[in-house]
Amino acid sequence: MNDISREPQGIGSVPELAVSQWFNTETPFTLAGLLGRPVLIHAFQMLCPGCVAHGTPQAERAHRLFRNTDLQVIGVHTVFEHHAAMTPVSLEAFIHEYRLTFPIGVDQPGAKSPMPVSMERFQMRGTPTSILIGRDGTIRHHGFGQEEDMALGAMISSALSEARPTTISA
């Protein structure tokens, strides 16, 4: 995979997401635009059993439990297999059926690689992946697979308690 430092930068040492379409939001998100807020990225595929059974419901719980804070939960549908079955139309039905309310972006397909762009930029190993970005724009946690709710909640609480940056430079 590519070195993160050579990819388009988002905030701090974090690359920017590459999203072709958004759901559950009228305004597209950028990580640079979220500097100063903790961000939880949930990367998933709708045909991934671990995502459907654990990761995506966990992201929805985090979105709902921390709704009165400035945490921003963002889903990234990052398709690296079964492309014909996991289209944006299918994703829209999935979002409706599973009653997902957090913003979800469709990861852009890779031009020279079978890996989607954001997946490659963030050096994800697969799905589900949870990435927690602190207020200062640095990655606080990069997890792959099933994670315990309490552990993720503790990391989110820690990120929320960080002091807000006094200067913003993106």
Residue 59: which CATH number? 3.40.30.10
Calpha distance 114→120 (Å, rounded)? 10
Write down the residue that tokens 């139309």 correspond to.
Answer: 89
Reference 156, options 136, 127, 134; nearest CA is: 134
Q: Is 128 within 8 Å of 43 (Cβ atoms)?
A: yes
Helices 149-160 and 56-65 pack at an angle, to 10 degrees, of 40
pLDDT tens, residue by residue, 120-169: 999 999 999 999 999 999 999 999 999 999 999 999 999 999 988 776 55
**Total number of domains in the chain:** 1
pLDDT tens, residue by residue, 24-42: 999 999 999 999 999 999 9
Secondary structure class of 127 (helix, strand, coil): coil
Cβ neighbours of residue 28 closer than 8 Å, sequence gap 6 or more: 19, 22, 105
pLDDT tens, residue by residue, 60-78: 999 999 999 999 999 999 9
Q: Is 56 within 8 Å of 144 (Cβ atoms)?
A: no
User: CA dihedral in degrees (45, 51, 57, 58; nearest 10)?
Assistant: -110
Identify whether 30 is part of a domain.
Answer: yes
Q: 50: domain range?
A: 4-160
